Amino acid sequence: MTKSGQETHKHNIDYADLLAKALEAAASSYSPYSKYRVGAAILTDDGQVFTGSNVENVLIGCTICAERTAAVKAVSAGARRFVACAVAAPGDDGCYPCGICRQFLTEFGRDQIIVVKNGQDGHSARPLSELLP
Ligand code: THU
**Superfamily of structural domain 13-131:** Cytidine Deaminase, domain 2 (3.40.140.10)
Residue tagged active-site, from 7, 24, 67, 130: 67
Selection from 6, 29, 1 nearest residue 91 by Cα = 29
Give the tens place of pLDDT for each residue, 69-107. 999 999 999 999 999 999 999 999 999 999 999 999 999
Q: Where are the domains of the chain?
A: 13-131
Q: Is the CB of 38 under 6 A from ligand 1?
A: yes
What pLDDT score does 133 carry?
82
- Determine whether 24 is an active site residue: no
Closest Cα to atom 3 of ligand 1: 65
> Which residue is closest in CA terms to ligand 1's atom 13?
36
pTM comes to 0.92
Residue 25, ligand 1, Cβ within 6 A: no
Please state, rounded to an integer, the average pLDDT across all residues of the chain: 92
